[in-house]
Amino acid sequence: MVLLFDQYHLPKDVFEVIFATEQQAAVGRMLISDMKEKGGEMGKTEMSVFATLLHEGTEITFEEKGPMGTVKLKKEKISYNKRQFYDRILTPMKAMGLIDYDLYRKKYMISDRFNKALVKIGLMWIQELQRGPPIMK
């Protein structure tokens, strides 16, 4: 997954940086919230139930900013195809290090590897800046 962002216009929500659409960001946010409620991890069956509930449609509440900074709560029904959930939400979150999967325990867990990967990328950039110009023959 490619992470493109504008450093001058970063959204306040990390999910809006990671995902391309608002619906994907909402589903990612819902998944992490649900995992936090379950102690930071979910079994395969719990993940399947979560995906099925999304597939059938579930109601979410979010804040909508109105004129002059007013905030009102808005309810919206969101449904997300079960297969697309695994392909576009869960698999990229695992690949980026937001979620880990333990094969032995068959559990998904919230992870901090995403932060470690971004720090590593930052260090790679610093090393690139410190390298001299390439030698041409």
Average pLDDT, consecutive stretches of 10 residues, N- to C-terminus, the chain (137 residues): 87 92 91 96 96 87 69 78 95 97 97 96 94 79
The C-alpha angle with vertex 136 and arms to 135 and 137, in degrees rounded to 5, equals 120
Q: Which long-range contacts (C-beta less than 8 Å, at least 24 apart) are formed by 72-80?
A: 78/23, 78/26, 78/27, 78/54, 79/54, 79/55, 80/23, 80/27, 80/54, 80/55
pLDDT at 63: 65
Tokens of 7: 């450093």
